[in-house]
Structure 1
Amino acid sequence: MEPIKVWDWDDAPAELKALSPHGGDEDWVALVPKHMAGRFIGWMESGSSFGCCDVSEHELPDGSIVRIGAHA
C-alpha cells in the first residue's frame, strides 16, 4: 500500500502546488492515496501544525486526495 506523502511547500511537485487557492501562504502539501482518502487524519486538519489557518482538499482523477496547509 502507498503511504501518505508530505512535502514542504518549496519541495512539493509543481503539479500539486498548482492546485493551491491560498495565494502564497502555503506551508505543506500532502498526497493521500485513494485507499486512505475517506479517513479522518487529525494531524492534517485546519488548526493543526499542517495548516494552522486553513487546509484545502483537492481530489485527483485517480481518487487520491491532495491537501494543502496554509498559515493564513
Structure 2
Amino acid sequence: MFKKAKKKRKLRLQKDQELIQALEQIKTKAEEYETYLKNSIDSEGYVNSRARLERAKYLFLLKEARVRKTTIY
C-alpha cells in the first residue's frame, strides 16, 4: 500500500520538475521574443505572432503549475 503512495509521489515530483524546466525555457523564449518585438521596426508579422504565442504558452504552463500546486524555487 505504501509502495504505491511512494511511487505516485516520486512520479509527481518528477513531472513537477519537468514542468518547472519547461516553464523556465518558455519564459526565456517569451522574453527573447518580447525583446525582438521592442527592437523591431515592423511589429506586425512573424515576430509579433511568435511573441504572443510564447507568452500564451508561458501563461498556460504557469496556470498548470498553479493548479498542480507546484513549488518553484
TM-score, normalised by the number of residues in structure 2: 0.23
> Which one has more relative contact order, counting CA pairs under 8 Å at least 6 apart?
2
More helix by share: 2
| Greater C-alpha radius of gyration | 2
